[in-house]
Structure formats: structure tokens, C-alpha cells
Amino acid sequence: MPKTIATDSPLAEITLRKYEKPSSDDKRELVKKLCLSIGLLQPGDSRDIVVDILHVILESNEPLDSKQIESFVIKNRNEKKLPAKGIASSNIRRQLKRLKDLFLIESVQNKYRINENEPLEKIFEEKIQKYYINSITDRVREYFKAIK
């Protein structure tokens, strides 16, 4: 009889990494460091499509649907001579969900934009730092307190 192992699924999680201060003028490189810093991208990961998706949304002056995002991502990756890894529609939708889950983007009438068209710094302070990170650290603190 196979043993069932209980797995604990987190209610919320975020990875934070500290890198050197921003120094590049290349916006894609800055977006890549941001994605690395908040755990959307792993160090050494060759599948960095999430960088291009966020970059395309940041550069757009209007909300984009997933097909438009896919088209712009493919165009940008071709221009930068980057491999076409992760450009499947299903993967792009999955990455959009990850960006939504971190409150960076939102969908309005099936189109994606930066959350409430706010500056990213404000989104980080109000949605990620104050809400997301505080709720996680509060719960971790409860575990520390519960273990006597």
C-alpha cells in the first residue's frame, strides 16, 4: 500500500534577493534584475520570458491582450537575438498570472496593464511591501512565538 505524504502548501510566498544598485541604461536589463530580485526569475535561468512580458507591458501606453503581448515579446526577442524559449501562448498566460499574483499587473476587460497604471515603486510599497510581505512576516512571527 503506497504511503501518502502530506504536503503543506503555502498561502503566499515571495523570494527577495539583493543585487548591486541599478546601473544599466538598458531597460530590459533593469526589468530582468527586478524579476530576479522578487523571485519571478531564478539566477541562471535561461527561460526569461517573464522579463520580456513585463517589459512589453511597461513600455505600452495602453492595455494589451495576451495575443498582442505574445506578438511584441516575439518581436523584441528577435530584435535582441534571444532564443525563442517559452514563447508558447500557454506559457505567456502562465507568466501573466504570476505577474498578477504579485500585484504588478491587472487585467481589465481581458487586457493587461500595470496595476492601476501606478509607478512600480508605489505598487511595491503599497501592495507588495505593506500587504504581501507584512502578512507573510506576521505569520512567520506567529510560528516563532508558538514554538516555546
List pLDDT tens digits, range 37-77.
999 999 988 889 999 999 999 999 999 999 999 999 999 99
* Structural contact between residues 51 and 31, judged by C-beta atoms closer than 8 angstroms: yes
Confidence category of residue 9, pLDDT binned at 50, 70, 90: confident
User: Which of 1-15, 21-35, 130-144 has the lowest average pLDDT?
Assistant: 1-15
Residue of 81, 26, 83, 14 whose CA lies nearest to 55: 26
Q: Is the pLDDT of residue 12 over 90?
A: no
Q: Does residue 105 sit in helix, strand or coil?
A: strand
Q: What is the distance between the alpha carbons of residues 56 and 93, in angstroms, rounded to a whole number?
A: 14
Q: Does residue 71 sit in helix, strand or coil?
A: helix
Q: Is the pLDDT of residue 6 over 80?
A: no
What is the mean predicted confidence (pLDDT) over 16-43?
A: 94
Please tell me the predicted confidence (pLDDT) of residue 7: 77
Q: Share the mean pLDDT of the chain.
A: 93
Which CA distances in Å does 2 have to 5, 7, 19? 9, 15, 45
Q: What is the distance between the alpha carbons of residues 144 and 147, in angstroms, rounded to a whole number?
A: 5
